[in-house]
Chain A
Amino acid sequence: MSLKTLTTGGLLCAALALPAAAEVKVGMITTLSGGGASLGIDTRDGFMLAIEQSGRTDLEVVIEDDQRKPDVAVQLADKMIQSEKVDLLTGIVWSNLAMAVVPSATAQGKFYLSTNAAPAQLAGRGCNARYFSVSYQNDNLHEGAGAYATQAGFKNTFILAPNYPAGQDSLTGFKRFYEGDLAGEVYTKLGQTDYAAEIAQIRASGADSVFFFLPGGMGISFLKQYADSGVDLPLVGPAFSFDQGILQAVGDAALGVKNSSTWSKDLDNAANATFVEAFEAKYDRLPSIYAAQGYDTANLMLSALDKAEISDEAGFGAALKAAEFDSVRGEFSFAANNHPIQNVYVREVIKEGDIFTNKIVATAMEDRANAYVDDCKM
């Protein structure tokens, strides 16, 4: 971990009155161990790739592992703010961890740039001038899937998601832009691994399509079991279950499935081409959406640093909000509540040689902001 800087010395002898060598200090809290580590590792690698490409030497990134535990994340945020004295925080993957860290970080006067999690609370009444989501608003991909289901002419969709806030938001988001009827609505257990019962319900429901939000391992299990069940209805889901990191583990079962995403590796713009090539060259694997969002977050931050000192809060905030950087997602700007306005695409899972990956087949929504802009009083 050459990137990781440590407070040398330990508890007692931390005489940190020394002037910091770097002018800007960034704290990254992300998940690097345990079950969800692949997402955090991609976030970190994408972010650091952009930092490296910038060639800046006056910038220091402190990286810590939150183990996907909210209380550890809070403690790390306290540490970064109180003892590392970082200027800006970023990197959290999960919404529940973001809810634990972001409100108190912004209350302590720090900027927070989200590389992934963007729960509704922080977009609406809880919005903050120091908080920017560079990824999306959590509902966006589900809204995109709903819009696509409507465009594709689905009339009777069966929808399912885990029984926790992100799952409930997901189904709400889908329904916001889906105009057909629901053949069924099911909440599964968080972390569930066997979906035989739900698949039987889908088979019996008379649905003409299925929307599912089951991130990570849950999605792998569902897709494999669905493919093996003989139920042959079209599937739609947000990108989380079709990520580069997990597609290889799903295999043929995912082929042809449509999923909504704000980014894809075949998105046609110069910044994206550079990013995909550089990422593959450096890390010897294809980037995921988490890597893309990490990369964009770093570039947004760098673009703002070129324009204003981070200590100049109003100036730096305005520079962030201008979003003058080359996003790998193409057109990119911020809505009034500091969440992106961007296209939501529909991708299809394909096989390129031996590798399973996605290609864009349609645009589900153009220049989508989010449903909470009016609730935000900044």
Chain B
Amino acid sequence: MTTTLILEQFLNGLQSGIMLFLMAAGLTLIFGVMGLINLAHGSLYMVGAFCAATAAAATGSFALGLVAALAGAAAAGALIELVVIRRLYDRDHLDQVLATFALILIFSEGTRWVFGSFPLYLDVPEALSGPVTLPGGIQYPLYRLTLILAGLAVAVGLFWLIARTRIGVQIRAGENDREMIAALGVDIDRLYTFIFALGAALAGLAGALVGAIQSVQVGMGEPVLILAFVTIVIGGIGSIKGALVGALLVGLTDTLGSVFLPELFKLFMAPAAATQTGASLSSMAIYILMAVVLIWRPTGLFGARA
């Protein structure tokens, strides 16, 4: 196996990690500030992808598709926050899990009702399609490179929002002491709706960006949802930094595991059996990673509270 291939696989792991971060950031923010487990976060990812596909098909512009994804997912997020989610903040996790599980059912079948059972079309924009040659001779798709940069830009923006702005101060205060910031005259209801819509918009953005190179179909959000949960649990729930580290860990483990585990087994097994055993183990790899992290640090890498 050549160095170029190893480097390319590293980039692939990085790219899937960065996209996972967009999902995980919203999830962890919502948990950190409002104490809410939102299983329906994957549905917002799906909403983003469907909005993007519909808008891009109607206008022919991928950029407008992205705008539609952001707007559509934020609107859907704000709507469910106002109607359902806000009644769940002071409930226990059990009720939250159940109510948001119900939302998944409603969103999935609702989307199928509106858009039908067939997958939608969404493609990489012309300007970003095809591969570029990186230093070292690596042929890498330009679109994936763009995803890495876009994801990093969003991450920087998010850190800036939280560390430097007035909203960020309120968010951090909200994580620590809810009554106090309410007493200080912050409209806590509006803050919560805003944060939820922000998280939803990030998920929708991820759905649209990834939807261009994957299949836009009902149920696309659930595998990502589970990965995002694994991510924030590894990183420590509530921590944006933890979400970033966790996302990169999960992305790299998943990608590199699927490439290198079969190779590893080939050292001492017949090739066909090694491929299969390696593939089986690699599909369990991230869950093993998560279990190990939690056994070692029961509140994740950067988690403060249980």
Is the pairing of A and B real?
yes
Residues of A at the B interface (CB closer than 8 Å) are 33-35, 37-38, 41, 163, 168, 185-191, 193-194, 196-198, 200-201, 203-204, 216-218, 220-221, 224-225, 228-230, 245-246, 248-253
In the assembled complex, the CB of B87 is this many whole angstroms from the nearest CB of chain A, namely 28
Report whether B258 and A189 are in contact in the complex, using a CB–CB cutoff of 8 Å.
yes
Report whether A230 and B272 are in contact in the complex, using a CB–CB cutoff of 8 Å.
no
- A34–B110 alpha-carbon span in the complex (Å): 11
| Segment with Cβ contacts to A, from B29-37, B118-126, B162-170 | B118-126
Contacts of B210 in A (CB 8 A): 193
In the assembled complex, the CB of B213 is this many whole angstroms from the nearest CB of chain A, namely 5
A sample of 21 inter-chain contacts (CB < 8 A) reads A35-B219, A38-B117, A41-B117, A163-B279, A163-B280, A187-B279, A188-B279, A189-B283, A193-B210, A193-B220, A194-B12, A197-B12, A204-B2, A204-B5, A217-B119, A224-B123, A224-B124, A225-B141, A229-B141, A248-B121, A249-B217
Report whether B131 and A251 are in contact in the complex, using a CB–CB cutoff of 8 Å.
no
Given contacts A163-B283, A220-B119, A252-B123, contact A197 B141 (CB under 8 A): no
Given contacts A186-B262, A228-B141, A230-B130, contact A245 B123 (CB under 8 A): no
Instruction: Tell me which of B1, B143, B258, B272 has the highest count of chain A C-beta atoms within 10 A of its own C-beta.
Output: B258
A-B pairs with lowest CB-CB distance, top 8: A230-B131, A220-B215, A217-B215, A187-B279, A249-B119, A196-B12, A35-B219, A37-B117
- A225–B213 alpha-carbon span in the complex (Å): 6
Return the chain B residue nearest A187 by Cβ: B279
Contacts of A198 in B (CB 8 A): 258
Instruction: Tell me which of B4, B220, B276, B283 has the highest count of chain A C-beta atoms within 10 A of its own C-beta.
Output: B283
Report whether A191 and B109 are in contact in the complex, using a CB–CB cutoff of 8 Å.
no
Return the chain B residue nearest A33 by Cβ: B109
Contacts of B239 in A (CB 8 A): none
Return the chain A residue nearest B16 by Cβ: A194
Contacts of A250 in B (CB 8 A): 121
Report whether A186 and B275 are in contact in the complex, using a CB–CB cutoff of 8 Å.
yes
Report whether B282 and A251 are in contact in the complex, using a CB–CB cutoff of 8 Å.
no
Known: A34-B218, A196-B141, A246-B119. 11 other contacts (CB 8 A): A34-B108, A35-B217, A41-B117, A163-B276, A168-B276, A185-B271, A200-B259, A224-B123, A251-B121, A252-B123, A253-B123
In the assembled complex, the CB of A216 is this many whole angstroms from the nearest CB of chain B, namely 8
In the assembled complex, the CB of A260 is this many whole angstroms from the nearest CB of chain B, namely 21
- A191–B254 alpha-carbon span in the complex (Å): 14
In the assembled complex, the CB of B126 is this many whole angstroms from the nearest CB of chain A, namely 11
Interface SS of A by simple majority: helix
Return the chain A residue nearest B109 by Cβ: A33
Report whether A35 and B258 are in contact in the complex, using a CB–CB cutoff of 8 Å.
no
Report whether A248 and B118 are in contact in the complex, using a CB–CB cutoff of 8 Å.
yes
Q: Determine the interface band of chain B, counting residues with CB < 8 A from chain A.
A: 35 or more
Report whether B214 and A224 are in contact in the complex, using a CB–CB cutoff of 8 Å.
yes
Contacts of B213 in A (CB 8 A): 194, 221, 224-225, 228
Instruction: Tell me which of B8, B119, B219, B283 has the highest count of chain A C-beta atoms within 10 A of its own C-beta.
Output: B119
In the assembled complex, the CB of B15 is this many whole angstroms from the nearest CB of chain A, namely 7
Picked from A34, A194, A246, the residue with its CB within 8 Å of the CB of B214 is A194
Report whether B223 and A193 are in contact in the complex, using a CB–CB cutoff of 8 Å.
yes
- Is there a chain A Cβ closer than 8 Å to B299's Cβ? no
Contacts of A34 in B (CB 8 A): 108, 112, 218-219
- A352–B120 alpha-carbon span in the complex (Å): 19
In the assembled complex, the CB of B164 is this many whole angstroms from the nearest CB of chain A, namely 34
Report whether A201 and B283 are in contact in the complex, using a CB–CB cutoff of 8 Å.
no
Return the chain B residue nearest A356 by Cβ: B121
Picked from A196, A201, A230, A246, the residue with its CB within 8 Å of the CB of B15 is A196
In the assembled complex, the CB of B137 is this many whole angstroms from the nearest CB of chain A, namely 11
Contacts of B12 in A (CB 8 A): 194, 196-197, 200
Report whether A196 and B139 are in contact in the complex, using a CB–CB cutoff of 8 Å.
no
Report whether B112 and A37 are in contact in the complex, using a CB–CB cutoff of 8 Å.
yes
In the assembled complex, the CB of B139 is this many whole angstroms from the nearest CB of chain A, namely 6
- A186–B121 alpha-carbon span in the complex (Å): 27
Report whether B119 and A200 are in contact in the complex, using a CB–CB cutoff of 8 Å.
no
Contacts of B220 in A (CB 8 A): 193, 217
In the assembled complex, the CB of A63 is this many whole angstroms from the nearest CB of chain B, namely 15
Picked from A185, A194, A230, A249, the residue with its CB within 8 Å of the CB of B139 is A230
- A189–B262 alpha-carbon span in the complex (Å): 13
Of residues 103 through 149 on chain B, the ones whose CB sits less than 8 Å from some CB of chain A are 108-109, 112, 116-121, 123-124, 129-131, 139, 141, 143-144
Report whether A187 and B276 are in contact in the complex, using a CB–CB cutoff of 8 Å.
yes
- Is there a chain A Cβ closer than 8 Å to B54's Cβ? no
Contacts of A194 in B (CB 8 A): 12, 16, 213-214, 255
Report whether A197 and B121 are in contact in the complex, using a CB–CB cutoff of 8 Å.
no
Of residues 1 through 44 on chain B, the ones whose CB sits less than 8 Å from some CB of chain A are 1-2, 4-5, 8-9, 12-13, 15-16
Report whether A197 and B259 are in contact in the complex, using a CB–CB cutoff of 8 Å.
yes
Report whether A189 and B255 are in contact in the complex, using a CB–CB cutoff of 8 Å.
no
Return the chain B residue nearest A175 by Cβ: B272
Picked from B8, B216, B223, the residue with its CB within 8 Å of the CB of A200 is B8
Contacts of B119 in A (CB 8 A): 217, 220, 245-246, 249
Report whether B272 and A185 are in contact in the complex, using a CB–CB cutoff of 8 Å.
yes
- A228–B130 alpha-carbon span in the complex (Å): 5
Report whether B275 and A251 are in contact in the complex, using a CB–CB cutoff of 8 Å.
no
Contacts of B124 in A (CB 8 A): 224, 228
Report whether B141 and A230 are in contact in the complex, using a CB–CB cutoff of 8 Å.
yes
- A224–B121 alpha-carbon span in the complex (Å): 10
